[in-house]
Amino acid sequence: VGRPFDQLPGHWRNSWLNLYHFWKEDGFHNVHNIMVKKFQQFGPIYREKLGTYESVNIIDPEDAALLFKAEGVYPERFMVPPWTAYRDFRNKAYGVLLKSGESWRHDRLVINREALSLKMTDHFVPLLNEVGEDFVRRVHTQIQRSGQGKWTADLSNELFRFALESVCNVLYGTRLGLLQDVIDPESQQFIDAVTLMFNTTSPMLYLPPSLLRRINSKIWLDHVKAWDIIFKHADKCIQNIYRDLRLKRRSDQEYTGILSSLLLQNKLPLEDTKASVTEMMAGGVDTTSMTLQWAMYELARAPGLQEQLRSEILAARSSSQGDVLKMLKSVPLLKAAIKETLRLHPVAVTLQRYVAQDIILQNYCIPAKTLVQVGLYAMGRDPRFFTKPEQFNPHRWLQADSTYFRGLGFGFGPRQCLGRRIAELEMQLFLIHMLESFKIETRRGVDINTTFKLILVPDKPIHLTLGPL
Ligand code: HEM
Ligand code: 2DC
């Protein structure tokens, strides 16, 4: 049953030569396009070895389903080598992002209750809603300043500030004031450090961590510098909350954010709490901001759809009479628009799992411990799985035809994105407020492509125009 592993198609026999070819075609920034090409060349499954990075790649949602059903109770994804190398180098604890086995599961279950459970996530809505409202206020100010009745800009840094403000309000129950004109330079440094950390990760993906640390290359030194800033700033935020709690400056009555809850419960060692909270703070910046930027870009190019969403939101607003929680239950098209954005513009180029047992995919035997990757970007653009994939059409998620294992933007199962609920609420509330307040436009005829900087991002600045309705 099943053809042998050794007969899988693909370039896996000469890993260092493959890496050389990969480097020559600027693979470091084109992982997503190269994968699309390889699926065309080899079919729905191929094996690959680049440097030390060995994987089997699949694209079919049915195969993704088989993979996730075989992931076991301790699912593990590809361990990004420079990330673990940094922690080991500085002797810092792993958080849920990098842990494995029982230790991962224990921490993850404790944090899930605070970050993913429906009971707790209701607390996030007012915290994220006020940040969304402040962003709208900031846009109004910028429109006035422009003197042109509208504001045209590359919103990247504005959105980074919005995203960091949002995730920190949920983590720490505190506003950092990042939607004002002048902001704390340390917060801007944090934002820049997260970008630098991602950018310096991709060139080191295919090398062993031990080598990375020995070679003192500029890229490794920059990577260390970036993580150092991330940890220093997060530590400061965490210490503030810790001190307030000990001095009983924070009441244990009202909700004061994920970190307070974790500290009061005292179910994790402080170092582990700090590691996971730092990962969430860093993970909350580029992910939601870039997705929102793509969403606005797509909506700017589809004015009819934008109008439909606006009517859905207005109807939801009036029928819920100011109850935001209730309102979020009656905006299916908006939620579909976010899914659709992640189909064409996923943050993660692949999802990966080390298979726990031997499994059969596309009639090949895949032995236990093999790293299998789901080509998320390639899947989202393949006409076999999405009719007219080039069209931005949120309605496809609401129609009867199958969405089986197709909406995987946040991953799947117990190892899926820990920030998923935060991200979804943050993005829904942002788009609600923006669509209620402004018309979103962009220059026609400017096509924006995707580039890989560990996460997938636009290859050039996106200029959006926000104006009155
Ligand atoms: C993991 C996507 C926002 C924190 C992941 C994974 C994906 C993902 C695909 C891997 C899941 C898997 O392997 O099955 C996204 C997208 C986001 C987003 C598309 C927004 C649009 C966030 C935010 C946070 C966050 C806001 C922090 C609050 C994490 C963490 C993990 C993770 C800590 C690792 C979880 C673990 O290993 O147990 N994310 N993410 N993400 N994400 Fe997100
Ligand atoms: C990058 O080949 C490409 O959510 C690699 O918020 C495989 C791979 C493994 C793990 C993925 C990573 C890719 C992209 C970025 C992800 C990461 C897991 C979590 C991380 C998807 C696809 C991300 C952005 C987290 C980051 C948290 C961090 C800043 C502390």
Nearest to 27 by CA among 1, 51, 58: 51
CA dihedral 39, 59, 453, 289 (to 10 degrees): 140
pLDDT at position 211: 84
Percent pLDDT > 70 in the chain is: 100
> What is the amino acid identity at position 35?
M
What is the Å distance from ligand 2's center to 428 Cα? 22
Q: Which ligand is nearest to the CA of 416?
A: 1
What is the Å distance from ligand 2's center to 199 Cα? 12
What ligand 2 atom has the least distance to the C-alpha of 78? 9
DSSP-assigned states of every residue in 286-310: HHHHHHHHHHHHHHHT-HHHHHHHH
Instruction: Copy the structure tokens of residue 342.
Output: 């992640």
DSSP-assigned states of every residue in 328-379: GGG-HHHHHHHHHHHHHS-SSS-EEEE-SS-EEETTEEE-TT-EEEE-HHHH
Task: Find out whether the beta carbon of 226 lies less than 6 Å from any atom of ligand 2.
Answer: no
Q: How do residues 165-194 score in pLDDT, each as one tens digit?
A: 999 999 999 999 999 999 999 999 999 999
Q: What span, in angstroms and rounded, lies between the C-alpha atoms of 155 and 28?
A: 25
Task: Find out whether the beta carbon of 300 lies less than 6 Å from any atom of ligand 1.
Answer: no
What ligand 1 atom has the least distance to the C-alpha of 163? 26
Task: Find out whether the beta carbon of 423 lies less than 6 Å from any atom of ligand 1.
Answer: yes
Nearest to 163 by CA among 296, 276, 284, 292: 284
What is the Å distance from ligand 2's center to 348 Cα? 6
pLDDT at position 243: 93
User: What's the pTM?
Assistant: 0.97
Identify the residue whose tokens are 């493959």.
Answer: 18
Nearest to 165 by CA among 119, 133, 197, 198: 133
Ligand 1 mutation target, pool 373, 417, 428, 457, most atoms within 8 A of CB: 417
Q: What span, in angstroms and rounded, lies between the C-alpha atoms of 38 and 456?
A: 18
Task: Find out whether the beta carbon of 31 lies less than 6 Å from any atom of ligand 1.
Answer: no
- State the average pLDDT over residues 312-317: 98
What is the Å distance from ligand 2's center to 319 Cα? 39
- Run of H or E including 53: strand 53-58
> Looking at ligand 2, which residue's alpha carbon is closest to its atom 30?
279
Ligand 1 mutation target, pool 79, 131, 372, 410, most atoms within 8 A of CB: 410
> Looking at ligand 1, which residue's alpha carbon is closest to its atom 6?
417
> Looking at ligand 2, which residue's alpha carbon is closest to its atom 19?
97
Q: What span, in angstroms and rounded, lies between the C-alpha atoms of 389 and 401?
A: 14
Coil, strand or helix: which one is 151?
strand
Q: How do residues 249-308 score in pLDDT, each as one tens digit?
A: 777 678 999 999 999 999 999 999 999 999 999 999 999 999 999 999 999 999 999 999
Q: How do residues 31-42 score in pLDDT, each as one tens digit?
A: 999 999 999 999
What is the Å distance from ligand 2's center to 253 Cα? 36
pLDDT over 80 at 58, yes or no: yes
> Looking at ligand 1, which residue's alpha carbon is closest to its atom 5?
417
Coil, strand or helix: which one is 443?
coil
pLDDT over 90 at 78, yes or no: yes
Higher-confidence residue: 426 or 400? Answer: 426
pLDDT over 90 at 91, yes or no: yes
Q: Which ligand is nearest to the CA of 231?
A: 2
Angle between helix 156-172 and helix 218-246 axes, rounded to 10 deg: 40
> What is the amino acid identity at position 342?
L
Coil, strand or helix: which one is 465?
strand
Long-range contacts of 322-327 (CB under 8 A, 24+ apart): 324/125, 324/126, 324/129, 324/429, 325/122, 325/125, 327/432
- State the average pLDDT over residues 94-104: 98
What is the Å distance from ligand 1's center to 5 Cα? 31
Instruction: Copy the structure tokens of residue 126.
Output: 């007012």
What is the Å distance from ligand 1's center to 383 Cα? 27
Q: How do residues 211-233 score in pLDDT, each as one tens digit?
A: 877 887 889 999 999 999 999 99
- Run of H or E including 457: strand 455-458
Report DSSP state, residue 183: -
Task: Find out whether the beta carbon of 80 lies less than 6 Å from any atom of ligand 2.
Answer: yes
What ligand 2 atom has the least distance to the C-alpha of 454? 1
DSSP-assigned states of every residue in 227-252: HHHHHHHHHHHHHHHHHHHHTT-S-S
Task: Find out whether the beta carbon of 375 lies less than 6 Å from any atom of ligand 1.
Answer: no
